[in-house]
Amino acid sequence: MIYKVVLNKSEEGYSVSCPGLPGCWSQGETEEEALDNVRDAIEAYRQTADELASGGEVREVEVAA
């Protein structure tokens, strides 16, 4: 899957968030490190969401772009 992320540079390095996944963000000293870290954060976010959804009746809905 492809997720849009927002990268911000600061004096300490880079912070990066994923607007499509509320609360999913990371950081790094370099742009590359921040992007690698947010990939890990996205994977953990999705795994946690799947675990929370297990046991319930899951449905999918489509939203027009």
The answer to whether residue 33 sits within a structural domain is: no
Q: pLDDT-derived band of residue 37, with 50, 70 and 90 as boundaries?
A: very high
CB atoms within 10 A of CB 28: 18
pLDDT mean over 25-29: 97
The answer to whether residue 30 sits within a structural domain is: no
Q: Name the residue range of residue 18's domain.
A: 1-25
The answer to whether residue 14 sits within a structural domain is: yes
Half-sphere exposure of 44 (CA within 13 A, CB side): 11
Q: pLDDT-derived band of residue 58, with 50, 70 and 90 as boundaries?
A: confident
The answer to whether residue 45 sits within a structural domain is: no
Give pLDDT, residue 13: 97
Written as one string, the DSSP assignment of 29-55 is SSHHHHHHHHHHHHHHHHHHHHHHHTT
Global pTM value? 0.82
The answer to whether residue 6 sits within a structural domain is: yes
The answer to whether residue 59 sits within a structural domain is: no
Number of domains into which the chain is organized: 1
pLDDT mean over 20-36: 97
The answer to whether residue 8 sits within a structural domain is: yes
